[in-house]
Amino acid sequence: MNYYAHETAVIDEGCEIGNGTKIWHFSHIMSGCTIGESCNIGQNVVISPAVKLGRNVKIQNNVSVYTGVICEDDVFLGPSMVFTNVINPRSHVNRKNEYAPTLVRRGASIGANATVVCGNEIGEFALIGAGAVVTKPVKAYALVIGNPARQAGWVSEYGHKLHFDTNSLAVCPETGQQYEISKEGVKRIL
């Protein structure tokens, strides 16, 4: 075992857990999921079957990551944020074959108490504000807030709001990385 699991964590047989991962109090890791290296799974987290987590994914307390969710490397999931996996759930109707996939791209962050409705893609380095309700795809580097979530700007890979000049260029104040905006969205150029 090349990962740490608190004694209260429940880890089912048949899951893959990468080296250096830490799993904290009262979390449940279900069979058939894949967790990458150096992840941090907070307290009271559930990772359902077939979930895939990349490397260095950080999941804060009280998050359930349901079947159908894939998180690429360096994703941050804030405290008590929520994923769904069925568009029209009913207790008396079995829809286990209707899970809609949700993809969270590399470096994206989802704030505390946010909700991501299934079937959407969260772009690379996007930032979902606390309490936002995501009902449609989010572009790379987009900052979205509110219910329903709406775009409120663009952010750098380090999470700073970008301010574009007349040449459609912006600079991250922390790193000096440069970004360009066009009709297609934002991309890092340096």
Residue 31 lies in a domain: yes
Range of the domain at 93: 4-161
Average pLDDT, the chain: 98
Residue 44 lies in a domain: yes
pTM attached to this predicted model? 0.97
Looking up residue 80, the CATH number of its domain turns out to be 2.160.10.10
Q: What SS3 class is residue 10?
A: strand
pLDDT of residue 47: 98
Contact (Cβ atoms closer than 8 angstroms) between residue 110 and residue 130: no
- Please tell me the total count of domains within the chain: 1
Residue 21 lies in a domain: yes
pLDDT of residue 74: 99
pLDDT of residue 12: 98
Query: In 72-128, which ranges are E strands?
Result: 76-77, 82-83, 102-104, 109-110, 115-116, 121-122, 127-128
- Give the phi and the psi of residue 156 in degrees, each rounded to 5: -80, 175
Residue 170 lies in a domain: no
Residue 187 lies in a domain: no
Helix (H) or strand (E) holding 186: strand 185-188
pLDDT of residue 142: 98
Residue 80 lies in a domain: yes
Instruction: List the chain residues with pLDDT less than 50.
Output: none
pLDDT of residue 1: 77
